[in-house]
Structure 1
Amino acid sequence: MTTYDVRRAADRFHTEAGWLDSRHSFSFSRHYDPANTHHGLLLVSNDDIVAPGTGFDTHPHRDMEIVTWVLSGSLVHQDSEGHNGVIHPGLAQRMSAGSGILHSEKNDVRASATPEPVRFVQMWVLPDETGITPGYEQRDVSADLTPGALVPVASGNPAHDSAIRIHQKDATLHAARLAPGDTVTLPTAPYLHLFIAQGSATLEGAGPLAEGDAVRLTTPDTPHLTATTPTELLLWEMHTTLP
């Protein structure tokens, strides 16, 4: 039987630091709730807005698959393995922290004559294996984002050959851009995490969802979701959970 755990945007943990406005779907940093640490394999889903000319200074990560999806503006990535890149809407990015990596993420003020905040969602899942060699991949998937359809953009499933690779065979991140009235069917998996990044929609079994709302589904029966305004959503499909 499907269970729907709806988490409203306003109920998320909130970090406000002047240069950063961040909303956390799960326990993160100083915000800790032992009853809200993960869903399936997903441990972090942060909705971040970073002011122009600022960002996250160099900091470490280890044994985590980190996927970043930009909604507006652009973000500059640099890391201790020599990788660098500029992430913008429609470009999926993955960093495998593995045995240890240092990186920074800054608002790309060079991208516009009138610098604007950058808004992005950063998501962390546990890898299949610890201690791997750190890695990085980014790919522009704009051309693959078929209007009105769920599209795999980051996956450990080799069948998803157009998605960036993550080192977690039981997890896939889908994205969708929907016009009002577009309907998609959610995939079959023991655990799904749906996040309404922009817009609004109605999910069968859960009701209306607004921007920033999330739904944690367990053993879903492929419910349908219908956009009520222009909508961008992120959906994690997971076939196992943390012990």
Structure 2
Amino acid sequence: MIVIRKSGERGHADHGWLNTYHTFSFASYYDPGHMGFRALRVINEDRVRQGQGFPMHPHRDMEIISYVLEGALEHRDSMGNSSVIRPGEVQRMSAGTGITHSEFNHFKDEPVHSLQIWILPDNEGVTPGYEQKFFPDTEKRKNLRLVASWDGRGGSVTINQDANLYAVLLEKGEEVVHPIPASRHAWVQVARGKVLVNDHLLGPGDGAAASDEDRLVISGQETAELLVFDLA
């Protein structure tokens, strides 16, 4: 079964400095029918204006993944990490017992467009941790490139949950197939472009939950970038 979550159905807030869309309930947006999917709790699509951002704020017991589409996101945290996240890079932060961090648009003359993803950990109270890795486009073209996993295999960042996150780039007419083992589930999030997912047309910002399916067949309808979550 495939259940579509259209872009226009998401929660939305425009704070001036931040234009954000929430696939699942977040902050002031609450929808009891969309509290997450399996261990996937948050997908926020954020556009932050030049020189603006989120000041220091706390998190705990959450696996937080940042995926930048355009621009650059400047990160600082209470563990002493300081970095700039650019397109192609994936940052993983395990909040665990508690951290504080800030995220700002690194540039003064252009916005930053990014996805922030929260995944519930399999255990609470883990030691906070941090990783950031670069995955070139060549590894994602017509290929499901593993970028986050529970065991860090294939050079992916490591998360404290039985989940796998893949990134893929497709051109029109290209296709990838993702097998779904029995008892597992999948979520597809389209970052840009259009694709067919098991014959369902998805556009920018659209998502799709897959349960009781044995595979996903994803076909590019135009130049597209998307994320595929494999979930217990």
User: Which bin holds the TM-score, normalised by the shorter protein?
Assistant: over 0.9
| Structure 1 equivalent of residue 110 of structure 2 | 116
CA distance in 1, matches of 2:104, 2:138: 27
Contact 1:68 1:123 in 2 (8 A): yes
The aligned amino acid for 1:185 is: V
| Structure 2 equivalent of residue 166 of structure 1 | 159
The aligned amino acid for 2:123 is: E
Cα deviation, residue 151, structure 1: 0.7
Aligned CA-pair RMSD: 1.3
SS state at 1:40 partner: coil
The aligned amino acid for 1:237 is: D
CA distance in 1, matches of 2:3, 2:173: 24
Q: State the TM-score, normalized to the length of structure 1.
A: 0.91
Give the gaps of 5 or more residues in structure 2: none
| Structure 2 equivalent of residue 209 of structure 1 | 202
| Structure 2 equivalent of residue 181 of structure 1 | 173
The aligned amino acid for 2:201 is: P
| Structure 2 equivalent of residue 127 of structure 1 | 121
CA distance in 2, matches of 1:37, 1:154: 22
Report the identity percentage: 40
Contact 2:140 2:167 in 1 (8 A): no
Contact 1:39 1:191 in 2 (8 A): no
| Structure 2 equivalent of residue 14 of structure 1 | 12
Instruction: Confirm or deny that 1:221 pairs with 2:214.
Output: yes
CA distance in 2, matches of 1:8, 1:78: 33
Contact 1:178 1:232 in 2 (8 A): yes
SS state at 1:10 partner: helix
SS state at 1:224 partner: strand
- Residue-by-residue CA offset, 1:155-210 (whole Å, 9 max, x unaligned): 1135x231011111x101100011111101123142111001010011114x2111
Aligned length in residues: 230
CA distance in 2, matches of 1:217, 1:143: 26
Residue of structure 2 aligned with 1:49, choices 47, 50, 59: 47
Give the gaps of 5 or more residues in structure 1: none
The aligned amino acid for 2:99 is: I
Structure 1 ranges of 4+ moved more than 4 A: none
The aligned amino acid for 1:223 is: L
Contact 2:73 2:104 in 1 (8 A): yes
Q: State the TM-score, normalized to the length of structure 2.
A: 0.96
| Structure 2 equivalent of residue 60 of structure 1 | 58
Residue of structure 1 aligned with 2:191, choices 193, 197, 202: 197
- Residue-by-residue CA offset, 1:26-65 (whole Å, 9 max, x unaligned): 0001111122101011000001100011001110000000
CA distance in 1, matches of 2:130, 2:138: 20
SS state at 1:82 partner: coil
Residue of structure 1 aligned with 2:35, choices 31, 34, 37: 37
| Structure 1 equivalent of residue 136 of structure 2 | 142
Instruction: Confirm or deny that 1:235 pairs with 2:222.
Output: no
Cα deviation, residue 147, structure 1: 1.3
- Residue-by-residue CA offset, 1:91-147 (whole Å, 9 max, x unaligned): 01000001000000000016xxxx211000111111122111111100111166241
CA distance in 2, matches of 1:237, 1:144: 22
The aligned amino acid for 1:14 is: H
